[in-house]
Amino acid sequence: MRTWFLLFPLVLALAPEAFAQARGAKAEAMLSNNLVKLGGTVTLEVVVEGARSADLTGVPKVKGLEISSPGRPMSTQYSQFINGRTYRKSSIRWSVLIRPERLGDFVMPAVEVVVNGERKTVPVMPPELRVVEDMRGEQLGYFELINPPQRVYEGEPFTIDMRFGWDSGLQVGSAALYLPWWGNLPGALEVSGRPRNLAANWISLKVNRRGTVEVEQLGDTDRSGRPFHVLRLERRLIASRSGALSFPQSTLEFAEVTKQRFRGNELEEYYALLPSFKIDVRPVPEAGRPFEWSGAVGRIEAARRVDRRDLDEGDPIKLTVSWSGAGNLEFFEPPDLARIDAFSGFRVLGVEDELRADERRVTYDLIPVSSDIEEIPPVPLWTFDTRIEAYRKIETDSVPIRVRRLERGNELMTDDEEGGSVFDIRDIKSEPNTSSGLPPIGGGTLLGALFSMPFAWLVGRMLLRHRRSDPSAPLERRSRAAPRKLSKGLRRAGTAAAQAECLHAFLAARTREGEQAWLGRDPLEWREAVDADVEEGALRELKDVLGELDRRTYAGDGKPLDASRVRGAASQLVKGGL
């Protein structure tokens, strides 16, 4: 009994981490390649991450394939200290060897894994395996990567530039790509790439036997003294976690027309292979990280412009800051000028955030509060520069401005320090008539004033209540209307991105914040930061919904989520106290 009491504090300390591991455990199964020559081998790798314990209990049996037993797994663990917290990552990996016994196409069934005592069925990706007699095509076709990155950092975008093609002398009747990692690469999200070159020639190729993709035709080029027809496919990805990012073998399948017949041509198939490869993803270091860093990673540059430089006191001025370059422009939080001391001489009325293919553009609506202001200060942004592998502050240039003082009677005044009555609308100023020649007040006027005093008192009280705490104030009206607007927006939303926009607007309205406040926000971290009285279960469901919408938008096909699930998450939040 005494031993139990001594161990109880340790159990309490480890319990949150154990629960977090149970919730965050992930299991994946992936073939090293989908095309193999008869007599060759393929490796099936099963990986479990973030689990206390795991066991591979079910290895698929497929007729025509000799599949070895999994053997002992390989385990790896490491810890990382971030913002005062220790994050532990672990992985358990099995390698299973597959040797084909005959030609044909095979479908791999799912594997069974027990994770933290819970049985899970994990699908194998890619699910198809093709066994061919000969791998002819290496001389007639090719498939290669152009300058692939050897290492990247978490949050850093990178480009996979694939070039492939075939001998220009061939009469190719069909061509297709098989990319096992396409849309299903653990540890990476697909993001928007550079704008499409409208002047180029584009064709559609089948990809993974289920869909199509547009590839750019680059024309013919010389390879080893022979002309080859060359095509290009680019994909821009962003690393979402540290570790090895594994790309399985990819295949270009193309078929030459050997005989033309009325009822269909005779074709001979060839294959060009892109070997599997890995990219090392490193964590963004904790050492030297400034408090102001908001997640910007990469080689980012800043520029600015304003819509005017000469203005009167109280006039608004638009400051537009553009961030561009090879960085995660979509994911960092732009600077909040209202929290920067250098901008204490300005009021920030609004912020417009716009994302383009190669630029993040944020427009701030500012009002200088004094004619003493002579410039708009630089806008700072802390980044982790992957080129120098260090944190760096990039700033815009300051903007000289002239603020003219208004003539007396035309001031745009703000609240004074003592809380007195002040003007808040320019060019409208009401002053009492100070003339000494006032007309005499008649008895009828006095009698009317006497009877109107109770009515005026009631009206004044209503106005005062309306000003202070009337629930129909703009923010409250916006909050009450949020569920109705969410339902209406979901009925019109045809993509996951549109659903996410509706949900972000709902959350911003319920929390009385700006429309962009919930972009990239973790609901559970928000609850802890603001000490919100919202049920944790409702926020976990919200986090799952937001994560699924992001996955479909950036790494999937963009199809909308079941609207009832989004509405259900919103309803739970309202019932849970939001």
pLDDT in tens, 315-324: 899 999 999 9
Does the pLDDT at position 498 exceed 50?
yes
| Residue 144: per-residue pLDDT | 93
pLDDT computed for residue 78 by the predictor? 62
CA distances from residue 576 to 538, 539, 570 in whole angstroms, order as listed: 6, 9, 10
Position 200 scores a pLDDT of 85
Give the pLDDT confidence of 408-425 residue by residue, as tens digits: 544 444 444 444 444 443
Q: How far apart are the first and last CA of the chain?
A: 44
Which residues are registered as beta bridge partners of 280? 151, 244
Cis amide leading into 227 (omega within 30): no
Q: What is the DSSP string of 38-50?
A: TT--EEEEEEEES
CA separation for the pair 462, 104 (Å, rounded): 82
Q: CA-CA distance, 146 to 404, in Å (whole number)?
A: 57
Q: What percent of the chain has pLDDT over 90?
A: 26
Could you tell me if 569 and 489 are in contact, meaning their C-beta atoms sit under 8 angstroms apart?
no
Q: What does DSSP assign to residue 567?
A: H
DSSP string of 514-557? Answer: -TTTTTT--HHHHHHHHT----HHHHHHHHHHHHHHHHHHHTS-
Among residues 310, 308, 314, which one has the least CA distance to residue 407? 314
The pLDDT score that the predictor gives to residue 570 is: 87
Which among 46, 44, 1 is positioned nearest to 27, based on CA atoms? 46
Q: Round the average pLDDT of the chain to a whole number and report it.
A: 80
Q: What is the 3-state secondary structure (H, E, C) of 71-134?
A: CCCEEEEEEEEECCEEEEEEEEEEEEEEEECCCEEEECCCEEEEECCEEEEECEECCEEEEECC
**pLDDT of 386:** 93
Q: What is the pLDDT of residues 177-208, one digit of tens each?
A: 988 888 778 888 888 777 777 888 999 999 98
Query: If you average pLDDT over each of 25-39, 375-389, 446-460, 477-491, which comes out highest?
Result: 375-389
Q: Which residues contact 118 (CB under 8 A, 6 or more apart)?
A: none
Top mean pLDDT of 78-82, 103-107, 362-366 is at 362-366
Among 294, 301, 306, which Cα is nearest to 322's?
301
pLDDT: is 546 or 18 the higher one? 546
In this prediction, residues 417-443 reach a mean pLDDT of 46
The span from the CA of 437 to the CA of 459, in Å, is 31
Number of H helices, E strands in the chain: 7, 34
Q: Residue 168's closest CA among 254, 248, 238?
A: 254
Looking at residue 461, what is its pLDDT? 54
Residue-wise pLDDT for 67-85, tens only, equals 888 878 888 776 554 444 5
Strand partners, 27: 48
544 phi and psi, to 5 degrees?
A: -65, -40
To which residue do tokens 């096992």 refer?
Answer: 180
> In angstroms, rounded to a whole number, what is the distance separating the alpha carbons of residues 561 and 570?
14
Which range of 31-45, 149-163, 508-522 scores highest in mean pLDDT? It is: 149-163
What CA–CA distance (Å, rounded) separates 378 from 281? 33
pLDDT at 526: 82
Is the pLDDT reported for residue 528 higher than 60? yes
Residue 164 confidence (pLDDT) above 70: yes
544-555: per-residue pLDDT in tens?
Answer: 888 888 888 766
Kindly tell me if the per-residue pLDDT of 4 is higher than 90: no
Distant-in-sequence contacts of 404-409, Cβ < 8 A, 24+ apart: 404/310, 404/311, 404/312, 404/313, 404/371, 405/313, 405/371, 406/312, 406/313, 406/314
What are the residues facing 367 on neighbouring strands? 347
Lowest mean pLDDT among 181-185, 296-300, 363-367, 443-447: 443-447
pLDDT at 94 over 60: yes
What's the pTM?
A: 0.55
CA dihedral (511, 515, 516, 522) in degrees, to 10, reads: 30
Q: What number is the average pLDDT over the span 340-347?
A: 92
Residue from 231, 230, 213 nearest 221 by CA? 230
Q: Per-residue b/e over 390-407, b at no fewer than 16 CB within 10 Å? A: ebeebebeebebebeebe
Where is 301: in which H helix or E strand?
strand 296-306
Question: Which has more pLDDT, 21 or 210?
Answer: 210
Domains (range + CATH), the chain: 13-130 (2.60.40), 134-283 (2.60.40.10), 296-404 (2.60.40), 475-575 (no CATH)
Contacts of 103 (CB under 8 A, 6+ apart): 38, 131, 132, 133
Q: Say what the pLDDT of residue 160 is.
A: 93
| Whether residue 462 has pLDDT greater than 90 | no
Range with the poorest average pLDDT among 58-62, 109-113, 163-167: 58-62
What b/e string do you get for 343-382 counting C-beta neighbours within 10 Å, with b at 16 or more? bebbbbeebeeeeeeeebbbbbebbbbeeebeebbbbebb
What is the side-by-side strand order in the sheet with 151-153?
151-153, 277-282, 243-247
State the DSSP code for 225.
T
Read off the amino acid at residue 274: L
Residue 255 token pair: 């078929």
Does the pLDDT at position 233 exceed 90? Answer: yes
Contact 532, 522 (CB under 8 A): no
Return the pLDDT at 87: 54
* Burial environment of residue 29 by CB neighbours within 10 A (0 to 12, 13 to 18, 19 or more): buried
Which range (140-154, 159-173, 465-479) has the least confidence?
465-479
| Band (407; pLDDT cuts 50, 70, 90) | low
pLDDT at 305: 94
Confidence check: pLDDT of 6 > 50: no
Q: How many residues are there in the chain?
A: 578
pLDDT value at 455 more than 50: yes
Query: In this predicted structure, what is the pLDDT of residue 256?
Result: 87
pLDDT surpassing 70 at residue 159: yes
Measured in degrees and rounded to the nearest 5, phi and psi for residue 147 equal 50, 60
The top-scoring range by mean pLDDT among 158-162, 166-170, 569-573 is: 158-162
- Rg, the chain, Cα only: 32
Compute φ and ψ for 455, nearest 5 degrees: -65, -45
Predicted pLDDT of residue 451: 58
Q: What is the pLDDT of residue 388?
A: 92
The H or E element spanning position 457 is: helix 443-469
Question: What pLDDT is recorded for position 162?
Answer: 95
- Judge whether residue 123 has pLDDT over 80: yes
